[in-house]
């Protein structure tokens, strides 16, 4: 080969090598950045070329793609149930998505590796690939009952209902909420305007209070404290006696811990069942101090508190009893105050753990996923998260929680012909706001089908300082919906 041809050949080889280097650089290094670049309109339009799968709850369609008359955007996303399910479905927007729409995006848009065979079949048959359908564990009657009751309270709040034996989430409501439909248009300017309005709303309708915010759990946490106490000595039971002074001295401070309204708790020495029924503070503060921080933290961890981050599949904010401080702080944490912070989902897990004979199941929202032709892609497999207590301890605690509803602060949760177990709670707030009202419960007590936890922000006041009249009726309506009452 003569010199000119050699130079041309070398130049071609060099250019080809540079081209390959550039291709690899673009695909391996800059691909994600280019894909997410706001100037990349190809991806924007591509999002609307795919018929995303449906999101359903039983036979109810919560999200679906519908064809448009617009040649530019083939499909648009529609949410028939709007606000009721928005904290669960989330939304599918031009440049983002959230909640189930985000967590299951690759299945919904058909790009998941789990759908490779389906895509291959579609390729050979010349069929347009469709996204997979995601079916949720939500019970529509329970969800709608919870939304109606919480909305009518006129307060902010959240509720979670769980099937104790499986961990399936039957309802998850957060109010105030939002309509996802305006956020799912192909008009970026309109979507951005709608989103900004919601983001700037001081009531935070985009916040899923059930899993994204933690609150002091108040007296509902006494269920955890009681579990720790019963587990520490298997001779203890509902009729065991405990000191219950009107005020409990807090070591190394000038402060003390009173019962609500500085009231007496019985005659100063009461049964464990009575202490829980009347939600006395002093015996539970003393229990926490006697057991010590390590024992309280260990018991909380057995319910899933402070452990690995939960995903349902959306990530859940971490709950915690707070860092170790002193005995005074521990007494307050043991009655659900101080730095004790829980999500409503976590407190539903506490109730479900007692209901399920001490076993806490891992909560989940997705029941099954099927491809567009109905072929199974994935199916939920209930999984144990932890053992919170022995079966014997759970039976004792269950008996006491039934007494709370029948004889104590939660009579408003009673369902005729059904044994209901529960615990009310009041969580002090900063400023001059009324305390938050909490309630955790499960039913039927002898064979639980549903466990509920809810918070009504600033929902306790006056005669309803325990939250029993505000929160308990909401939980009752959800339990009735699940039980078909």
Q: Is 54 helix (H, G, I), strand (E, B) or coil?
A: coil
The CA distance from 19 to 24, in Å, is: 9
Residue holding tokens 């999200």?
Answer: 63
Tell me, yes or no, if 219 is annotated catalytic. Answer: yes
Task: Look up residue 49 and give its DSSP letter.
Answer: T
DSSP assignment of 78-90 equals E-TTGGGTHHHH-
Task: Look up residue 440 and give its DSSP letter.
Answer: E
The CA distance from 127 to 121, in Å, is: 8
∠396-399-401 over CA atoms, to 5°?
Answer: 110
User: 364: which 2 tokens?
Assistant: 């989940």
C-alpha 266: how far from chain center: 37
The CA distance from 135 to 9, in Å, is: 59
Q: Could you check whether the bond before residue 267 is cis, i.e. omega within 30 degrees of 0?
A: no
User: 193: which 2 tokens?
Assistant: 């305007």
The sheet with strand 450-456 has its strands ordered as: 169-175, 157-162, 450-456, 436-443, 421-427
Contacts of 345 (CB under 8 A, 6+ apart): 160, 169, 172, 210, 211, 310, 312, 316, 363, 453
Catalytic residue among 153, 174, 184, 219: 219
The CA distance from 107 to 318, in Å, is: 27
End-to-end CA distance of the chain: 92
Contact 129, 444 (CB under 8 A): no
Contact 246, 263 (CB under 8 A): yes
Contact 238, 274 (CB under 8 A): no
User: 372: which 2 tokens?
Assistant: 């567009």
Contact 57, 136 (CB under 8 A): yes
Distances in Å between the Cα of 210 and the Cα atoms of 9, 41, 177, 213 are: 67, 36, 12, 7
Distances in Å between the Cα of 411 and the Cα atoms of 348, 353, 403, 419 are: 19, 22, 9, 12
Q: Which residues are catalytic?
A: 219
């Amino acid at each position: 080969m003569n010199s000119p041809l050699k130079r041309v050949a070398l130049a071609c080889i060099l250019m080809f090598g540079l081209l390959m280097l550039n291709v690899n650089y673009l695909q391996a290094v800059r691909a994600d950045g280019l894909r997410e670049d706001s100037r990349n309109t190809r991806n924007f339009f591509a999002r609307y070329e795919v018929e995303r799968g449906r999101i359903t709850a039983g036979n109810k369609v919560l999200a679906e793609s519908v064809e448009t008359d617009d040649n530019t955007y083939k499909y648009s996303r529609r949410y028939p149930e709007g606000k009721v399910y928005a904290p669960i479905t989330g939304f599918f927007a031009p440049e983002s998505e959230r909640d189930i729409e985000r967590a299951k995006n690759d299945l919904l848009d058909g790009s998941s590796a789990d759908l490779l065979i389906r895509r291959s079949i579609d390729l050979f048959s010349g069929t347009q690939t469709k996204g997979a359908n995601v079916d949720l564990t939500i019970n529509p009657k329970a969800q709608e009952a919870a939304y109606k009751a919480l909305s009518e309270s006129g307060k902010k709040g959240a509720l979670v209902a769980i099937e104790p034996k499986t961990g399936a989430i039957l309802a998850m409501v957060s109010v105030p909420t939002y309509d996802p439909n305006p956020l799912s248009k192909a008009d970026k300017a309109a979507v951005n305007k709608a989103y900004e309005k919601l983001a700037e709303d001081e009531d935070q309708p985009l916040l899923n209070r059930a899993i994204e915010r933690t609150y002091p759990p108040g007296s509902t946490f006494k269920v955890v404290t009681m579990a720790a106490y019963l587990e520490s000595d298997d001779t203890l039971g509902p009729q065991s006696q405990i000191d219950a002074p009107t005020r409990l001295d807090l070591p190394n401070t000038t402060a003390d811990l009173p019962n609500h309204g500085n009231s007496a708790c019985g005659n100063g020495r009461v049964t464990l069942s009575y202490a829980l029924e009347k939600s006395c503070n002093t015996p539970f503060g003393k229990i926490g101090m006697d057991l010590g921080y390590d024992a309280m933290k260990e018991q909380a961890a057995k319910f899933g508190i402070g452990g690995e981050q939960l995903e349902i599949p959306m990530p859940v904010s971490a709950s915690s009893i707070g860092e170790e401080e002193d005995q005074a702080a521990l007494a307050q944490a043991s009655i659900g105050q101080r730095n004790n912070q829980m999500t409503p989902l976590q407190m539903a897990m506490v109730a479900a753990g007692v209901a399920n004979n001490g076993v806490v199941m891992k909560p989940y929202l997705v029941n099954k996923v099927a491809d567009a032709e109905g072929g199974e892609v994935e199916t939920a497999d209930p999984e144990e998260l932890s053992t919170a207590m022995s079966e014997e301890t759970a039976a004792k605690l269950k008996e006491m929680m039934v007494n709370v509803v029948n004889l104590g602060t939660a009579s408003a949760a009673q369902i005729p012909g059904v044994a209901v177990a529960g615990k009310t709670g009041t969580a002090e707030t900063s400023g001059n706001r009324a305390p938050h009202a909490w309630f955790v419960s499960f039913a039927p007590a002898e064979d639980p089908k549903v466990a509920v936890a809810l918070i009504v922000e600033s929902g306790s006041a006056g005669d309803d300082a325990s939250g029993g009249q505000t929160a308990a009726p909401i939980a009752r309506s959800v339990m009735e919906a699940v039980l078909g009452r």
